[in-house]
Amino acid sequence: MLAGPRVQAETIRVAIEKLVFSPAEISAAVGDVIEWHNKDVMAHTATAKGDFDVVIPPGKTATLTVTTAGVFDYYCRFHPNMKARLQVR
């Protein structure tokens, strides 16, 4: 049996700076990793109610491996005006 090319997960990076997720809209595939880099001096979260809740300490990174397809609008629980969207295919 022949094996096809190995599909490797991608890492999609999102910067958090001055209370903004950048980019605000990202696309990923199931199995990809989202990496948030918090450049602010305060903690943030990437929270999609009922789906994920990632805490990102100041000056640090945090990751999430995508396991489900769909569209996920997420925000920071500490700063609810910070909003972004993750589309997973």
The full set of domain ranges for the chain reads 11-88
- pTM of the predicted model, to two decimals? 0.90
Residue with tokens 């999102």: 14
Span 25-58, pLDDT tens digits: 999 999 999 999 999 999 999 999 999 999 999 9
Closest to 39 in 3D by CA, of 64, 23, 56, 63? 56
65-80 pLDDT per residue, tens: 999 999 999 999 999 9
Q: How far apart are CA 8 and CA 58, in angstroms?
A: 29
Instruction: Give 22-59 as a DSSP string.
Output: ESSEEEE-TT-EEEEEE-SSS-EEEEETTTEEEEE-TT
Is 3.30.360.10 the CATH classification of the domain at 11-88? Answer: no
